[in-house]
Amino acid sequence: MESHDGAWSLKEVQKLEGHTDRVWSVAWNPAAGVAGVPAMLASCSGDKTVRVWEQNPSSSSWFCKAVLDETHTRTVRSCAWSPSGKLLATGSFDATTAIWENVGGDFECVSTLEGHENEVKSVCWNASGSLLATCGRDRSVWIWEVLPGNEFECASVLQGHTQDVKMVQWHPTMDILFSCSYDNTIKIWAEDGDDDWHCVQTLSEANGGHTSTVWALSFNTAGDKMVTCSDDLTIKVWETDSAKMMSGDGYVPWSHVCTLSGYHDRTIFSVHWSREGIIASGAADDAIRFFVESKDGSVDGPSYKMILRNEKAHDMDVNSVRWSHGENRFLASASDDGTVKIWELVPVI
């Protein structure tokens, strides 16, 4: 553990064990961990199950509240809570997306979405919970409309990537969808006036983008900056003029701001931007690193510095890192070692 300005330390709160294969992804319930509601976390695994973990308010320790099984027949690759925290979407290598509803603490599979030809790699709800995006190895991105009674209708199938699509992510304030792929690009999708979705921008090597598979992306709270990570061992920061975009002047393009390289020496699988502006990254070198914008006033525009690293956060690859929505600075990480870890970023007094 090394702190670069002495301001932070990373405390391992608890190791959550139970999965019998690698853990691919973790997702915090956005309606939990605030206003006295115990924090809740979902994790999904190569063992074909999803586990829901909850923090015990009295002891602060974490326990497995539910195991969601006997639905997916292959690896569960991705999980995402709806904004209300009532629904959980899970995407699987069995080519389906399952929708689970929390009914009085019990989770029931209330819908199964079929359409992808093979492995579903990522699922994501938009900010209002009215749309769900999925993507997969079949190179397509699907947008589903959420209807009453837990019905889902395919609104659009987006073709444009030439390889496996690794992740879909909605913009935090606008219904604009981002996807990243094995084809080394990030594609940005928007709806025109006729309910047709189309690609409005492609971020590739030609405009400052990555030179290998793009694994993940995340936005800052304001939605005017985006961070991406790649098999090319770099993390890139992008920005747009969100005020201009919000004013309804049409699409405003994203541009590359800076590249962070030389920090991870193996594939970077996950990045996530905290509400406070701290970027966490997890990689195949078993490490988690933390970055913040440097306030040095560089003439070349914004730059970022590493403030903390844990070289051996897990025994194997770190597949996912996610900041909590709650009052605590919790970070969850998922690994090929079959565990989920809860960390807390604490200021060094």
219: in domain: yes
Specify the pTM.
0.95
341: in domain: no
347: in domain: no
Looking at residue 37, the DSSP 8-state letter turns out to be P
308: in domain: no
Residue 277 lies in domain: 17-285
179: in domain: yes
237: in domain: yes
Report the DSSP beta bridge partners of residue 259. Answer: 236
Q: Are 88 and 78 in contact (CB under 8 A)?
A: no
336: in domain: no
Counting the structural domains of the chain, the total is: 1
Instruction: State residue 48 phi and psi, 5-degree precision.
Output: 75, 10
Q: Are 125 and 171 in contact (CB under 8 A)?
A: no
pLDDT in tens, the chain (349 residues): 344 455 789 999 999 999 999 999 999 999 998 888 999 999 999 999 999 999 998 898 999 999 999 999 999 999 999 999 999 999 999 999 999 999 988 999 999 999 999 999 999 999 999 999 999 999 999 999 999 999 999 999 999 999 999 999 999 999 999 999 999 999 999 998 777 999 999 999 999 999 999 999 999 999 999 999 999 999 999 999 877 877 776 789 999 999 999 999 999 999 999 999 999 999 999 999 999 998 776 667 789 999 999 999 999 999 999 999 877 789 999 999 999 999 999 888 7
Percent helix / strand / coil, the chain, rounded to 5: 0, 55, 45
Tokens of residue 98, six digits? 């399952």
Strand duo 40-45 + 50-55: pairing: antiparallel
The CA–CA distances, whole Å, from 260 to 133, 285, 305 equal: 29, 16, 8
Q: Report d(CA 21, CA 277) in Å as an integer.
A: 32
154: in domain: yes
> What CATH number corresponds to the domain at position 45?
2.130.10.10
Q: Are 100 and 109 in contact (CB under 8 A)?
A: yes
